[in-house]
Amino acid sequence: MTERCHCDRRTAVAAIVGSGLAIGLGGVGALAQDDAARARPKAGDVLVYQAGANANKPIAAADVKAGTAQILAWPMDPATKTVRSGTRLNTILVVAVDSSKMSAETKANAAGGVVAYSAVCTHQGCIVEGWEKGPQNLLCPCHQSEYDPRNGAKVLAGPAPNRLAALPLKVGGDGALTVAGGFQGHVGISAAS
């Protein structure tokens, strides 16, 4: 003899949706944990060009010139050659600035005069790809938030509530820019602190 459920339609639908959601989210969480392309930058990762003729090639510290616009990059695991491009939150901007004008905090994270920050604006999550040539500041093209790369990507103007997260760098034996530690600060959209 088969048992029958004596529940109303709303309860049955909620049970079905809840079961599907739990299965779906469990699968997504497991996938994200196992997906090296979505993993955050790790110490030892090499920075590679995000686009153009040099896409996925390592960025040499000597190739980043002071006074020029930032380079958009991805971190890459040097052992597996996995480029961590599975999430836009891993978009990194690399820029060279005058070391004599860097704050002490910025110098501690720099490789010579080269610094790296999350390229995701803290206001609405746009990619900070604009460059103010005169003052040599980073500019978000969406709502004009301006960041100072010499002072920990501090917000100078615009609606962004917080600075960009810093990514400590070092120069590897082959001259390539290498991640020295994880992001310092919140990556992505954030509330005012």
- pLDDT above 70: residue 16: no
Tens-digit pLDDT profile for residues 98-153: 999 999 999 999 998 999 999 999 999 999 999 999 999 999 999 999 999 999 99
Between 10 and 114, where is the model more confident?
114
The per-residue pLDDT for 98 is 93
Superfamily of domain 46-179: Rieske [2Fe-2S] iron-sulphur domain (2.102.10.10)
**62-93 pLDDT, tens digit each:** 999 999 999 999 999 999 999 999 999 999 99
Q: Single out the residue of 93, 32, 102 nearest to residue 68, CA to CA.
A: 93
Higher pLDDT, 22 or 146: 146
Max distance between CA atoms of the chain, in angstroms, equals 84
- Indicate whether 7 pLDDT > 50: no
Q: How far is CA 56 from the centre of its chain?
A: 16
d(C-alpha 101, C-alpha 113), whole Å:
10
**What pLDDT digit, counting tens, does each position of 29-70 carry?**
444 446 999 999 999 999 999 999 999 999 999 999 999 999
The more confident residue out of 144 and 10 is 144
Question: Residues 154-180: pLDDT tens digits?
Answer: 999 999 999 999 999 999 999 999 999
pLDDT for res 13: 41
Domain boundaries, the chain: 1-34, 46-179
pLDDT of residue 15: 42
Instruction: Please give the pLDDT value at position 34.
Output: 65
Which residue type sits at 18?
Answer: G
CB burial readout 141-156, b (16+ within 10 A) else e: ebeebbbbbbbbbbbb
pLDDT at position 117: 98
